[in-house]
Structure 1
Amino acid sequence: MPDVTTGDTGARRRGYLLWAVAALAYAVDLGTKLAVVAKLEGRTTVSVLGDWLVLRVQRNPGAAFGMGEATTIVFTVIAAAVAVVVVRYSRRLASTPWAVALGLLLGGALGNLTDRLFRAPGDFQGAVVDFIAVRDFSVMNLADWAITGGCALAVVLSFRSSPMTVTAGAGARAPRA
């Protein structure tokens, strides 16, 4: 529940938390991608946990599991839209867990959006750098893990009926339609 006595101060603090989580997720994703491309691209896999978890650089122009390779620009637009929606909600957050969930989602979306915008072949169609290979599952990056974690937390919060935003009666502006 929002703290009615502090007006929107609590929502503002949760907004800052969202931005901090997003910045951390983005920075860790970008840093690992830069390191992996510099040190591992073109080399054999590096075993982390036997053959269950290995590091293997793979460029992915599509979505999860390599689907949609011919529609890379669609994923670029989706990532940008997710970022805009999260930013819009960032000022009215009603709970700390929602701030963390949306921060992970924003940081991950920005991490993959950066690849789409600045990696070859460019023109909003860049391939995302994936490097965490889980046996019999997928090759992903830390942005993907942040998105997955943020979505999982959002699902749990939704099932618990935890409100995402502060309403007008709780000291913040009412959301615009």
Structure 2
Amino acid sequence: MNAAGHVWRWAALIALVIIADQLTKWAVLETPAFNALACLDPSIRCGRIELSSVFDLTMLWNRGISFGTFQSSGIMRWILVLVTTGIAIGFAYWLMRAERWFTALSLSLVIGGAVGNLIDRVRFGAVVDFLDFSGPWFGTYIGGVAVGFPWVFNIADAAITVGALLLFLDQFLMSRSKPDERNPA
């Protein structure tokens, strides 16, 4: 049986990503220290909870896409909604025809993350980001090279990134393996 034959397994993974993403975002939105709904107004600063020298919870509204690129509002918000919906539908179609479990796993992570962020964009016009690993290194240069991780992200972003990396590995490295090694299921 091919990977698509396990459709409920992949649907469950997609649902798990969406639920984990939305529950963590709900917790952020309900935490008074973040001032989340008020700071939808760009003139009002969102809150931050310092947890360690490496990791903080920093509430940001991302009006763009991955890592804050293509910041938009107004009609661009709805264009992003349509594009994201189209990509998710296209990936779901691909998922239903996937022959390798690794392909299905990768697509499920991307779809779950895309839908998680899509929910925010429709509800608020922006995506809730809060995981901040910038640590003390952000803005530091060693040998002329910037170090640190300046982006604030969420569970959906992590799922999309991991899924995309796995999909890249699957399509460009694993697709060369023998057919019987591709699908352990």
What TM bracket, shorter-length normalisation? Answer: 0.7 to 0.9
Residue identity over aligned pairs, in percent, reads 30
**Structure with more contact order per residue of length (Cα contacts < 8 Å, sep ≥ 6):** 1
2:40 is the alignment partner of 1:38:
no
RMSD across aligned C-alpha pairs, in angstroms?
2.1
Aligned residues: 149
What's the counterpart of residue 54 of structure 1? 56
User: Within 1, Cα distance between the matches of 2:111 and 2:66?
Assistant: 17
Q: How does 1:155-174 map to 2 (within 5 A)?
A: 155-162=168-175
Letter aligned with residue 56 of structure 2: V
The Cα shift of 1:66 comes to 2.4
8 Å CA contact 2:34, 2:48 repeated in 1? no
User: Within 2, Cα distance between the matches of 1:162 and 1:144?
Assistant: 25
Deviations 1:109-149 (A, max 9, x none): 00010011112xxxxxx110000112132011110000000
Taking a change above 3 Å as real, the CA distance of residues 92 and 64 of structure 1, as seen in their structure-2 partners, is: closer
Taking a change above 3 Å as real, the CA distance of residues 19 and 140 of structure 1, as seen in their structure-2 partners, is: same
8 Å CA contact 2:92, 2:107 repeated in 1? no
SS of 2:30's equivalent in the other structure is helix
Q: How does 1:32-111 map to 2 (within 5 A)?
A: 32-39=24-31, 40-42=33-35, 44-50=47-53, 52-70=54-72, 71-111=76-116
What's the counterpart of residue 138 of structure 1? 151
Name stretches of at least 5 consecutive residues in structure 1 with no aligned partner.
1-5, 120-125, 164-177
After TM superposition, the runs of 4+ consecutive aligned structure 1 residues lying more than 4 A away are none
User: Within 1, Cα distance between the matches of 2:96 and 2:121?
Assistant: 27
SS of 1:162's equivalent in the other structure is helix
SS of 1:132's equivalent in the other structure is strand
Letter aligned with residue 58 of structure 1: L
User: Within 1, Cα distance between the matches of 2:104 and 2:66?
Assistant: 24
Letter aligned with residue 17 of structure 1: R
Match of 1:148 among 161, 174, 179: 161
User: Within 2, Cα distance between the matches of 1:149 and 1:44?
Assistant: 27
Deviations 1:83-107 (A, max 9, x none): 1112212322211111111110000
